[in-house]
Amino acid sequence: MKNYFNPIIAFTKANLLRFFRDKIYIFFMLILPVMFLFIFGMIYSNNFSSFKAAIFNNSSSKLAITTVEAITSEDSVINEIAVSDRNDAEEKLIRGELDAIIEFPANFGNLNASNIPLGEISVTYSKNSEQAGQTITALLNSIATEYNNQLTGTIPAISIKSEALTREGLTNFDYVFAGLLGYTILTIGLMGIANILPGDKESGATKRLRATSITSGQLILSYALTFLLLGILSFIIMIAIGLFVFNFHMRGNWITFSIFTAISTFMMLGFGLAVGGWARTDAQASALVNIIMFPMMFLSGVFFPKFMMPEFVQGIMNFMPLTPIVDGIRLIVTENYSLIGVLPQLGIIAIWGLAIYALAIKSFRWE
């Protein structure tokens, strides 16, 4: 067993030294994911010009109906999102799918002794999206002020009560950061390793290695270990930037996260090894990488959450190898799932891993 792993460790060390001498690999493996992190971090750290809210109207009064119509009118910046019930709305609020929950109590619009309709609108928002909640409250206050002037002139008939949800929610950046971590795994798995193998074939390095006692399995494992270690370095850099620059909120356990990302990265490396092991030239590898990478990049929930896509697109996304990785990371870092909680994702990753590594070893070409 020791004799089997000695060549793997030696070749891994040699690959790491070669990597840090190559500026192109450093750019694609370390700098490019960080560039995407800063771009999307700046976008999702800012507020948008419209807000998503669930609206519960428990009153049948004319005032309640008129107010809801004003909130959801075409020129309003508040977009109503359909939910099944209050619990569903709170889950969506925590996940960042909603900016606020607006509720009208059953007695909203009831007449007082002076025959004036009264009512209080409740606004609930996430503690991590306090600015969005306060903005929605201010918008409702402006609508209430207009109605108050029409109804009484002086006496406030409609009031707004706002509060932050006691359960801690997600910021927009928290949600997209999980996707960016998935993109990093995709980059490590495909962009580097798929090109380095054909380059070694063209230079004759693999042909010379074939004359030694090293097997194709040992060679493949050494490449996988090399890029797994590079992936760990890339993750450390990205998480440090997320924590200290963009105030990323980690909900889950770091050990669970580390185990899941290591398994996921190892699986995705199989795709790069399969492409690089089969391709004879760098041109062949680059073409195959683009064919495999771009569908996964845009149809795995990396940059755009699955719930934003049409249903038929979501069905396609479920078959992408990167989808269980992004879903699992998102569940761990944003909802504190354990490894048992992400077993469905781990099961899919394991199936993909066994299939792709079997293909990589079987299709490997030394020249």
Cα–chain center distance at 17? 32
Q: What is the pLDDT of residue 345?
A: 92
Which of the four pLDDT bands, split at 50, 70 and 90, describes residue 255?
A: very high
Predicted pLDDT of residue 171: 65
Region 287-311: what's the mean pLDDT?
A: 78
The tens digit of pLDDT for each residue in 133-178 reads: 777 877 777 777 776 666 555 555 566 766 655 555 566 677 778 8
According to the model, what pLDDT value does residue 199 have? 75
Contact 28, 73 (CB under 8 A): no
| pLDDT for position 165 | 57
- Provide the pLDDT confidence category of residue 2 given band limits of 50, 70 and 90: low
Q: What is the rounded distance in angstroms from the CA atom of residue 189 to the CA atom of residue 328?
A: 17
Q: Where residue 347 falls among pLDDT bands split at 50, 70, 90?
A: very high
If one compares 240 and 7, the residue with the highest pLDDT of the two is 240
- pLDDT for the residue numbered 163: 65
Q: For residue 266, what are its two tokens? A: 């190892």
Spatial distance between the Cα atoms of 347 and 263, rounded to a whole number of angstroms: 11
The residue-averaged pLDDT of 332-358 equals 90
pLDDT reading at 203 higher than 80: no
Share of the chain above pLDDT 70, in %: 87
Least Cα distance to 120 among 64, 160, 60 occurs for: 160
**Across 240-268, average pLDDT:** 88
The pLDDT, as a whole number, for residue 114 is 72
Residue 89 phi, psi dihedral angles, 5° rounding: -65, -40
The three-state DSSP-derived secondary structure of the chain is CHHHHHHHHHHHHHHHHHHCCCHHHHHHHHHHHHHHHHHHHHHHHCCCCCEEEEEEECCCCHHHHHHHHHHCCCCCCEEECCCCCHHHHHHHHHHCCCCEEEEECCCCCEECCCCCEEEEEEEEECHHHHHHHHHHHHHHHHHHHHHHHHHCCCCCCEEEEEEECCCCCCCHHHHHHHHHHHHHHHHHHHHHHHHHHHHHHHHCHHHHHHCCCCCHHHHHHHHHHHHHHHHHHHHHHHHHHHHHCCCCCCCCCHHHHHHHHHHHHHHHHHHHHHHHHHCCCHHHHHHHHHHHHHHHHHCCCCCCCHHHCCHHHHHHHCCCCCHHHHHHHHHHHHHCCCCCCCHHHHHHHHHHHHHHHHHHHHCCCCC
Q: Which residues pair with 122 in a beta bridge?
A: 103, 161
Question: Is the per-residue pLDDT at 212 higher than 80?
Answer: no
The mean pLDDT of the chain is 80
Question: Does the pLDDT value for residue 225 go beyond 80?
Answer: yes
Q: How far is CA 231 from the centre of its chain?
A: 17
Q: What pLDDT score was predicted for residue 263? A: 92
Q: Which residues contact 304 (CB under 8 A, 6 or more apart)?
A: 298
**Residue from 365, 178, 363, 355 nearest 267 by CA:** 355
- For residue 250, which phi and psi values (nearest 5 degrees)? -85, 115
Alpha-carbon distance 19 to 114, whole Å? 80
Banded model confidence at residue 183, pLDDT cuts 50, 70, 90? confident
Question: How sure is the predictor about 260, in pLDDT bands with cuts at 50, 70 and 90?
Answer: very high
**Mean per-residue pLDDT, 101-123:** 82
Nearest alpha carbon to residue 182 among 287, 305, 289: 305
At 152 the pLDDT is 57
Alpha-carbon gap, residue 317 to 201, rounded angstroms = 34
Q: What is the pLDDT of residue 158?
A: 64
Cα–Cα distance, 29 to 187 (Å, whole number):
7
CB atoms under 10 Å from CB of 189, counted, come to 33
- Domain boundaries along the sequence of the chain: 2-44+171-362, 48-164
Question: For residues 356 and 322, is the Cβ–Cβ distance under 8 A?
Answer: no
Q: Which residues contact 2 (CB under 8 A, 6 or more apart)?
A: none
Alpha-carbon span 265 to 252, nearest angstrom: 19
Q: Give me the percent of the chain exceeding a pLDDT of 90.
A: 9
Superfamily of domain 48-164: abc type-2 transporter like domain (3.40.1710.10)
Lowest mean pLDDT among 65-69, 116-120, 335-339: 116-120
Name the least confident of 4-18, 42-56, 215-229, 256-270: 42-56
Residues 14-31 have pLDDT tens digits of 878 877 877 777 777 778
